[in-house]
Amino acid sequence: MNSTTALERIAAQAAQSSGKPVNRVDGRKKVMGEARYAGEFFADGMTYGFALPSRIATGRIVSIEAARALELPGVLMVLTHENRPNMPLHDDAYKDQSAPGGMPFRPLWDDRIWYSGQPVALVIAESHELARHAASLIDVTYERTDHRTDFREAEADAYPPSTEKGGFEPPPAPRGDADAALMAAPVSIDQRYSTPAEYHNPIELHGCTVIPEPSGKFTVYEKTQGVLNTKQYLMKVFGFADDELEVISPFVGGAFGSGLRPQYHLPLAVMAARDLKRPVRVVLTRQQMFTFAHRPMSLQRVALAANKDGKLQAVIHEAVSETSQYEDYCDVMVNWAGQLYACDNVRLDYKVSKLDVPTPADMRAPGAAQALFPLEMAMDELAESLAIDPLKLRLINYAERDGNKNLPFSSKALRECFEEGAARFGWENRPLAPRSMREDNELIGWGVATGIWDAMQNEASARAEITADGRVIVGSATADIGTGTYTAMSQLAADAVGVPLEAVDFRLGDSRLSKAPLEGGSWTVSSVGSAVHAAGVRLCGKVVALAREHGGAAFASALPEAVRIDGDHVACGDGAEERLPLGELMKRAGLDTIDAQVTVTPHDKQQSYSMGTHSAVFVEARVDEALGAVRVTRVVSAVAAGRIVNPKTAASQVSGGVVWGISMALHENGQFDHELGRQMNHNLSEYHVPVNADVHDIDVIFVDEHDDIVNPLGAKGVGEIGVVGVAAAVANAIWHATGKRVRDLPITLDKLFA
């Protein structure tokens, strides 16, 4: 079966089949404690590392005295910039697949301090507790220099990131004259908004276990969203040959961007394991989780103008966000404004400012999560000025084409999202004026916002194999960060091969498996899923061909579509069926197993379309009039994401995104002491996130949407879309409840009372 035929069959089967809300295939392992994470693998002679953080924000290390630490029985090593192994000099050796432009961070490279919390030493001991205690005995003398961590002070020095350094695509060129249209329009709003630094806090701490083997090979168990990315990074940095290194990551306890890049614990652990020739485990503390990946702070201006009927005349979105001193990290923040609404006059601009902080990183819906907050809040402010229902205003300005690219959408069921979400929520009963609804001492408000995220597909490969007893083994070197990848891929493989879900064993998180992209961007089902399904189709085709060749007269004369796999047999015919054991078929064909390897790449026709996932978010917020306490009591999220492979896990993803959006709106805020240049609330006691009492009813609707352009499966992915727009909908609901606009996240009671 050639690849064209396989892809045609994928499309046909995807169009005919509907997703089933099955339980997670890996669920039992997780609840029974059988799932093993990066810091839970063990080997004889295990040692433990603790990274000592810098106490200053910028400057240099004058001296490091480690004698007291090394005197402790059981302390094996203290690695510093003075005794680390020789490392490559050129920056490219340290760049991974998701690295932004600039110089990648190299732990223990030299005496320079870039940010507070930067690792300055690694202690290796025979227990984690001993390593941590020994680190406290190390005396580091610093020479401090002036630092800058106040983002508002740095805004004046913002600059457009260089496209030559990589990692950044400039905003679309202006269309029309947005500034003139803004001045001429009868109704306009022009406001500034801000979002704080937010920090990745998955339950599983970042860590790894590095095991050297007698043969010279290294096995690395790492918390990562891409085992191949991790392997390539380590091969470049340490000079491993391909067959000298294996990276394994079967389970990840949450990541959503923090695991895209190798973090500093990984090269430190490999350094120590190579030197000691013993297994090394390094797991960061919760405080150290605040010393690398985070969503960058942003300052944004949104200006909108409309005629008296509500038709947009101008859209201006300008943003500045933070980056580190050594890399140009850029979220795509302003593009969405030019894509989401129809307008002839649009100007978008984006800059970054350098701070003495670690490089930010992708965090669930990077760019869109921050940018949709001011854009969708500004749409509400414009609706208020026009005395138009905010949902009606969005429909008046509905974009039938992507204005940035001047391309049609491959599919866009956003109107249906608005319609079905509004009906479920009861939006028609919303009074236009704020402070119109209350119950006892609580003011009640209803808010709405639009969500959008790119639908993307990357090249991916998968291998499928069927054994004599009818077991189907499928593998691809992707990841499961808690999103349900094991389950969705098993479903797609079962559907393609024609076997029960229980007969499928899907394998991931191993660098020996078929190539797969990083798990991020909501493209895993689109990319890896397409490859898995294609491999299953090809495998099924091989079984059918072998049955017709070696199965006897009945199979030889049967139409190919009449031959199928039935448990550990192949069968054909209606009524009185002809059946042949798979093992016998393989024996006749001289095979132990039957396998198929497939690589699926994006189709050229995708270039002629804009592809995206859309949502409509409706929120009810209640605000205690006396205390200012906010409760988000009801959320309806209506999502158009093409084919939904598993509605149960997909709804879970969207619900999790909604919780994250509530957290963004009301809770999360990295707070700095600018005298020290250090984040002060680097723990889960003072860095606030929602708890059970903060989350009430969340209703997820998947709107029917067919798309045969976005990928062979017609699936767009839902990892990101759940969070986008939620913070804006919450802010809009709070305004409707109180009449108070809070344009700086998070919305806390002090701001409501200001």
Active site residues: 720
- Tell me the C-alpha distance between 411 and 409, whole Å: 5
Residue 501 and residue 486 in contact, taking contact as beta carbons nearer than 8 Å: no
- Strand pairing report for 346-354 and 312-323: parallel
Amino acid identity of residue 176, one-letter, is G
Residue 222 and residue 205 in contact, taking contact as beta carbons nearer than 8 Å: no
Number of other CB atoms surrounding residue 560 within 10 Å:
13
The separation between the first and the last C-alpha atoms of the chain, rounded to the nearest angstrom, is: 68
Q: Helices 368-386 and 726-738 meet at what angle, rounded to 10?
A: 30
Residue 112 and residue 25 in contact, taking contact as beta carbons nearer than 8 Å: no
Among 566, 558, 612, residue whose Cα is nearest residue 721: 612
- Tell me the C-alpha distance between 552 and 210, whole Å: 53
Residue with tokens 């009671």: 749
The token pair at 91 is 């920056």
DSSP string, 562-628: G-EEETTEEEESSSS-EEEEHHHHHHHHT-S-EEEEEEE---GGGGGSB-EEEEEEEEEEEEETTT-
Among 420, 439, 485, residue whose Cα is nearest residue 227: 485
Max CA-CA distance within the chain? 87
- Tell me the C-alpha distance between 625 and 529, whole Å: 49
Number of other CB atoms surrounding residue 140 within 10 Å:
18
Among 539, 493, 516, residue whose Cα is nearest residue 600: 516
- Tell me the C-alpha distance between 339 and 368, whole Å: 12
Residue 196 and residue 668 in contact, taking contact as beta carbons nearer than 8 Å: yes
Burial 473-482 (b: 16+ CB within 10 A, else e): bbbbbbbbbb
Q: For residue 326, how many C-alpha atoms fall within 13 Å in the half-sphere facing its CB?
A: 17
Q: Compute CA 9 distance to the chain's CA centroid, rounded to the nearest angstrom.
A: 30
Helices (H) and strands (E) in the chain, counts: 20, 34
Among 358, 359, 360, residue whose Cα is nearest residue 54: 358
- Tell me the C-alpha distance between 248 and 60, whole Å: 36
Residue 428 and residue 422 in contact, taking contact as beta carbons nearer than 8 Å: yes
